[in-house]
Amino acid sequence: MSLLFPLMRRDPIWRFMPFAVLAGFGALALDLKSPALQGGIAGIVGSLYMAFLGQARIHERASTFEAALPIDGRDLLRARLASLLLFLWLPVAVALLVCLWFGPAQAVRLAWPLGSAAMAASATVVLLQLYGLPRIGVAKAVALAAWLSVLVICIAVAFLVHPEPGATSPLLGLAAIGLLIAAGAFRAWPKSSLALQLSPVELQRADLPASAATTGDPGSWVVLLRSLLNTQTTVWFGFAAFYPLLNNFVMPLCFVPGYVTGAYMSLRWMFPLPISRRRILGVILLPFLALYAISAMVNLTWGIGSDGDQAIDPRPAGLRLASPWWKHVAAGETPVVQAPWGETHSPQIKRVWLVRSYNPWETGPENSRQFRDWQFRRATQAVFGQEVDWADRARLDDLRPLNRRPVENILNVAALLFLSMFLVSFILIPRWSRISHLPAPVRKYGVMALLLPFVAALAFSPILAEPLGNTGILDVFSMAWADTVRANPVAAWSTVLLVLWLMYALLGKQFSELEPDNQPASAKGRSPFGGGLFS
């Protein structure tokens, strides 16, 4: 037990703590600012946790170095589990404590979504750790049970990200079962032989079947696919495709650093070969961007992002409207809506950074019901191409809005791609030969300092763009810009392609000036912040 804390202190997970805490506070701020987002908080926190954990090699109990030391395997397992679980629960505890300052009700309300996410992640961590046990000789039935439990917990996490009413209790039960299995395996561990405990890391899997010999030419590009599509990058590809389909367009941007680092590490063997760096960049970046763009475009065009209730949400207090129909207004101007019978309303101006916008079909508490109905009919005419009476507002579910108009969709997707490339450009900076003369800490932490405002802006964009939703900030900008080119789709396409091409060309230039291996081999790590692009 005396070794527990020294081992915990060495755990590589702690280097991710500042980011996890930031994510926790970001989620907390979102929750306090927009209680309506409460259900999504678990998703945000859970996703960020999983992103960090994915980088932290949570399936390993110890490094090769530690495994070679005369340390009881139980101590290694305890220390690793304790570190991982503390990592998961500490930000939750901090967030809840901070929340208490706003009142016990706030903390109670936040406890379930945050706790759910942390609990599911904990179960995954525990079971992934235990999955290692069968590989050193524990019965295969236990291995199968552990794997099934992992599968169940993963499904539970997925549901907790977007909770369904009534689904949480069974999920809680499943997670509890998973934890029970974990506890059982943990109890069984001391009964295994001392030799196993002393060498708990199986570095080479002996059970891998030998591949069949082949003399045929497998095709020159197969090796690229095999290199790029490993477990880690496949997870990132999955996120890039999955989140936009769930109407979360911003989240994949948070995964861009993880993906690029993983892909870079997988393809760095190509750097000494006569292949242009721009091609390597294309191999790394284009599949991810294509998947991201296609997924976003599919959702915006045919998916839930194009649904009527995403465009107009009639509420007794007023009409909530998606961003593409907001109008922008110059500084100093005050828009006034006047009905034919003379009744007026001055819509509230929403300011997102430098863009001032307003909902042209807004009504106020001072307005008459006639005015509200009139505004609603005008809004539905504009959004759906046909007038709908307030009394028939249930019909909105069956209508599809004229939006997402292609121009806005294109601009929004282009903006996401631009931001992705912008982010990639940032994370390449530490290895950029042009600044290789700067001290490594300056390069590494300087980039992180530069990145923070950018990530914060992304994380808080739903607040800034409220009530426009998580693509609001992009929508507002694209709307402001699209007004000037809507009449000319050719101009829109040309501008988009030109900007994206310029960004990609700049990125290609930067990538071709990247120094892939400017650190001694012994200093390289496998995490994005301990090695790879950030070393």
Partner 1 sequence: MKPVLEFDNIHRAYKAGEDVLAGVTFSLREGEVLGLLGRNGAGKSTLIRIAMGLIVPHQGTVRVFGAEPTGDPVGVRRRIGYVAEDQVLPPAATIAELIAFHKMLFPKWDSTIEADLLDRFSLSRGEKIRNLSKGQARQVALLCALCHRPELLILDEPAGGLDPAARREFLEASIQLLNREGSAILFSSHHMGDVERLGGRIILLDQGKVALDDDLDNLREGISLAFLPASSGRQQTIAAMPGCLRVHEANGELHAIFRGAPDSVSARLYAATGGAAIRCGQAPLEELFVEMVGGRR
Task: Give 216 or 340: the residue with its C-beta nearer to partner 1.
Answer: 216
Using the contact rule CB under 8 A, the part of the chain among 125-133, 236-244, 365-373, 513-521 near partner 1 is 513-521
Adjacent-strand bridge partners of 315: 318
64 binds partner 1 (CB under 8 A): no
# chain residues binding partner 1, by CB under 8 A: 44
- Beta strand pairing call for 337-338 and 327-328: unpaired
Beta carbons of 153 and 116 less than 8 angstroms apart: no
Task: Give 180 or 275: the residue with its C-beta nearer to partner 1.
Answer: 275
- φ, ψ for residue 364, nearest 5 deg: -115, 170
Using the contact rule CB under 8 A, the part of the chain among 49-57, 206-214, 232-240, 341-349 near partner 1 is 206-214
Q: What letter would DSSP give residue 268?
A: G
The least CB distance from residue 10 to partner 1, in Å, is: 24
Beta carbons of 305 and 470 less than 8 angstroms apart: no
Task: Give 104 or 520: the residue with its C-beta nearer to partner 1.
Answer: 520
Task: Give 233 or 380: the residue with its C-beta nearer to partner 1.
Answer: 233
Task: Give 73 or 508: the residue with its C-beta nearer to partner 1.
Answer: 508
Helices 17-33 and 104-131: angle between axes, nearest 10 degrees: 140
**Cα gap 160→127, rounded to integer Å:** 18
Which has the closest alpha carbon to 265: 220, 231, 217?
231
Considering only residues 433 to 452 of the shown chain, the ones binding partner 1 according to CB under 8 A are: 433, 436-440
Task: Give 142 or 440: the residue with its C-beta nearer to partner 1.
Answer: 440
Considering only residues 270 to 309 of the shown chain, the ones binding partner 1 according to CB under 8 A are: 271-277
- φ, ψ for residue 2, nearest 5 deg: -65, -20
Select from 220, 340, 354, 397 the one that contacts partner 1 (CB under 8 A): 220
The least CB distance from residue 53 to partner 1, in Å, is: 23
CA distances from 281 to 219, 287, 504 (A): 21, 10, 9
Select from 101, 187, 217, 341 the one that contacts partner 1 (CB under 8 A): 217
Using the contact rule CB under 8 A, the part of the chain among 31-39, 50-58, 108-116, 507-515 near partner 1 is 507-515
Beta carbons of 528 and 258 less than 8 angstroms apart: yes
Task: Give 114 or 284: the residue with its C-beta nearer to partner 1.
Answer: 284
Task: Give 472 or 532: the residue with its C-beta nearer to partner 1.
Answer: 532
519 binds partner 1 (CB under 8 A): yes
Q: Which residues contact 192 (CB under 8 A, 6 or more apart)?
A: 133, 137, 138
518 binds partner 1 (CB under 8 A): yes
Which has the closest alpha carbon to 337: 355, 318, 309, 322?
318
Using the contact rule CB under 8 A, the part of the chain among 45-53, 261-269, 461-469, 482-490 near partner 1 is 261-269
Task: Give 9 or 59: the residue with its C-beta nearer to partner 1.
Answer: 59
Select from 104, 316, 332, 520 the one that contacts partner 1 (CB under 8 A): 520
Task: Give 70 or 274: the residue with its C-beta nearer to partner 1.
Answer: 274
Task: Give 70 or 219: the residue with its C-beta nearer to partner 1.
Answer: 219
Where is 529: in which H helix or E strand? Answer: none
User: Which tokens sit at 245?
Assistant: 């389909």
521 binds partner 1 (CB under 8 A): yes
Spell out, one character per residue from 362 to 381, where the chain touches partner 1: x when CB under 8 A holds, - when not.
--------------------
Beta carbons of 134 and 143 less than 8 angstroms apart: yes
Select from 227, 381, 425, 495 the one that contacts partner 1 (CB under 8 A): 227
The least CB distance from residue 432 to partner 1, in Å, is: 10
The least CB distance from residue 234 to partner 1, in Å, is: 12
Task: Give 338 or 512: the residue with its C-beta nearer to partner 1.
Answer: 512
**Cα gap 534→525, rounded to integer Å:** 10
Task: Give 275 or 304: the residue with its C-beta nearer to partner 1.
Answer: 275
Using the contact rule CB under 8 A, the part of the chain among 12-20, 29-37, 219-227, 300-308 near partner 1 is 219-227
224 binds partner 1 (CB under 8 A): yes
- Burial class from Cβ neighbours inside 10 Å (0-12, 13-18, 19+) for residue 505 reads exposed
Spell out, one character per residue from 445 to 484, where the chain touches partner 1: x when CB under 8 A holds, - when not.
----------------------------------------
Q: Which residues contact 338 (CB under 8 A, 6 or more apart)?
A: 344
Tell me the Cα Rg of the chain.
Answer: 26
212 binds partner 1 (CB under 8 A): yes
516 binds partner 1 (CB under 8 A): yes
Select from 214, 315, 397, 490 the one that contacts partner 1 (CB under 8 A): 214
**Cα gap 239→245, rounded to integer Å:** 10
Beta carbons of 38 and 52 less than 8 angstroms apart: no
Question: DSSP letters of 423-473?
Answer: HHHHHHGGGBGGGTTS-HHHHHHHHHHHHHHHHHHHHTHHHHTTTS-TTHH
Q: Which residues contact 268 (CB under 8 A, 6 or more apart)?
A: 516, 517
Spell out, one character per residue from 400 to 439, where the chain touches partner 1: x when CB under 8 A holds, - when not.
---------------------------------x--xxxx
| 3-class SS letters over 405-426 | CHHHHHHHHHHHHHHHHHHHHH
CA distances from 120 to 64, 67, 85, 155 (A): 28, 28, 11, 10
The least CB distance from residue 45 to partner 1, in Å, is: 33
Provide the binding-site residues for partner 1, judged by CB under 8 A. 208, 210-224, 226-227, 230, 266, 268-269, 271-277, 433, 436-440, 512-513, 515-521
